Structure 1
Amino acid sequence: MLQLFEPYNKDTNAQSGHLIEEIHMLVQGIRLSGFVYVVNGVSNINLLAHNEDGLPPLQIWEMARSVVEDYQEAISVNLLAYQQPNRGWEAPPPGFFKVNVFGASSLDGLGTSGVGVIIHDDSGSVIAALSKALPLQYPAAWTELFAMEQGVLLAQEMTLSKVIFESDAISVIQAISQDLFGSETGHLVQGIQLAKSSFLRCSFRHVKRDCNRAAHELAQLAKNSHASNVWKGVTPPFLVHLIQSGLG
């Protein structure tokens, strides 16, 4: 362990004063990140050191070292807690269905756009999928909203009651969550909002692209082939490996 304080002097008062100064420097040098108890611990040491009956310097030293060790242990646990593993796609809670959607547009503005939708049950099994080519090339924001619209329509067609809709387009989730009807895509947002009443329970969530791979592949297929396909009760053959790898 790194030595954070200087060795003691022989004079007791000088030792106490020196320790207090070092502890204050320690506090200033540490970004606590919410570990309030560290501040409290150091404050207690400071009060004890100024007490008329003051503690021996060695005991102050041990208390300070204990505080530092507690902090180091706590921050290591905290970092581990916030290091989320890359789990990929996850099945919905029991009784729910999960609808993942994706909209694909060409970067050069040519060709057509495509949307992909895939629906899983709570066991992770695919119950439906859609790969749909749009008649024109649309901006990315429009295409992502079209994808969500198609996801809602497919879920209604499958008569699902408890549904979680996921997209890796944060703008889409924000528009739906905040009822943003004022933009040029407002009519799409409003249509999705109205459709929510057809479900017993539903929610809209943003996910990372790694958790939306299957919908991405379906959208790319539609964009590149200019064709539309629907699968019900089966997994699209070209997605079998992806689904089995837990990246659906």
Structure 2
Amino acid sequence: MTHIVSSALKDYPTTRAILTLGGLDGRPLNKDYLYYIDWLEDVMRILDEDFIMMLWNSWNNRNNFVFCGKEDKAWVIWDRARTHCHDFWIHNLVNNSVLPLTPAIKKWEKPLCESMKINIDATVFNNKTSFGVIIHDSDGFVLGGGGGFKDEEMIMEWTELYAFEEGLKLARSLIIANSIFETDCASLMNRFKKRKDDITIIGHCIKETYKTLEMFTTAYVKWDNRSCNNVADFMCKYAILNNSNMLFGMNYPKEIHDIVIRDSFN
């Protein structure tokens, strides 16, 4: 949903005009972002609470154009958004910014003693879907990992589930007892938490996948910031750009050495 809304806004001429009126410089408008959520964060840091009002008014304006054939001028939409913000300006004075002006730097953390952390990630590029997995012990040393791809384009939650299943396979092959699985996909985490009430096809698949976790002595699934998932993210991109399917043990490829060291000994 985030991808649909943000792409509809970012690539819509009227919205670009509104953002320019709001004082947005050309970088967030013209820069290519691999993930639309990164574009949203950049814009929100500049416009802060004005962005929420702009988002609603711009989306409402586009719906009016699609369904009613009516569209307001960019300056009218921006003025309306600013007026709404002014109505709540006391709230804005006593509350912190939606996002901090200086983003907090989050780092990968070592798992608890005797636990193994399995970081997973997935991406879609050029009609291909890839996954990345990296497994660390409680001292931060790499036990194994890998990356792979298939010639199939999938929607976000299915790609992340695909990566999760590959991570499960690798963890089981290493006979890991206590595991912590980490993903940066919030929507997949929400589906895991609500799996008992999920009657969709992907919900059924998640229930079946979740049964595999019972084979571990302990197993947890957690969400973490994408900045804590650097190695798995790199393996995704490496696999898809090099048409590579690879698994490795403690002798991991030299391409990820610097990232592993930076994450493990920060």
| TM-score in same-fold range (> 0.5) | yes
Q: Is the 8 A contact 2:127 2:151 kept in 1?
A: no
Q: For 2:168, which of 130, 145, 152 is the aligned residue? A: 152
Structure 1 counterpart of 2:139: 123
In 2, Cα distance between the equivalents of 1:85 and 1:116?
Answer: 25
In 2, Cα distance between the equivalents of 1:202 and 1:177?
Answer: 14
Q: Is the 8 A contact 2:106 2:225 kept in 1?
A: no
Structure 1 counterpart of 2:123: 104
Structure 1 counterpart of 2:212: 195
Q: How does 1:112-191 map to 2 (within 5 A)?
A: 112-179=128-195, 181-191=198-208
State the 1:191 CA deviation: 2.4
Output the amino acid matched with 1:150. E
Size of the aligned set, in residue pairs, is 167
Structure 2 counterpart of 1:222: 239
In 1, Cα distance between the equivalents of 2:242 and 2:127?
Answer: 10
State the 1:194 CA deviation: 0.7
In 2, Cα distance between the equivalents of 1:192 and 1:84?
Answer: 35
Q: Does 2:105 correspond to 1:86?
A: yes
Output the amino acid matched with 2:115. F
State the 1:186 CA deviation: 2.4
Q: Which shows bigger deviation, 216-225 or 120-129?
A: 216-225
Output the amino acid matched with 1:214. V
Secondary structure in structure 2 of the residue aligned to 1:185: helix
Secondary structure in structure 2 of the residue aligned to 1:182: coil
Per the normalisation by structure 2, the TM-score is: 0.58
Structure 1 residues 169 and 247 mapped into 2: Cα distance closer, same or farther (>3 Å)? farther
State the 1:31 CA deviation: 5.8
In 2, Cα distance between the equivalents of 1:111 and 1:32?
Answer: 43
Output the amino acid matched with 1:97. M
Aligned alpha-carbon RMSD (Å): 2.3
Q: Is the 8 A contact 2:110 2:264 kept in 1?
A: no
Q: Is the 8 A contact 1:104 1:143 kept in 2?
A: yes
Q: Which shows bigger deviation, 190-199 or 117-126?
A: 190-199
In 1, Cα distance between the equivalents of 2:95 and 2:104?
Answer: 24
Secondary structure in structure 1 of the residue aligned to 2:252: coil
Structure 1 residues 104 and 247 mapped into 2: Cα distance closer, same or farther (>3 Å)? farther
Structure 1 residues 211 and 93 mapped into 2: Cα distance closer, same or farther (>3 Å)? same
State the 1:84 CA deviation: 9.6
Secondary structure in structure 1 of the residue aligned to 2:182: strand
More helix by share: 2
Output the amino acid matched with 1:207. D
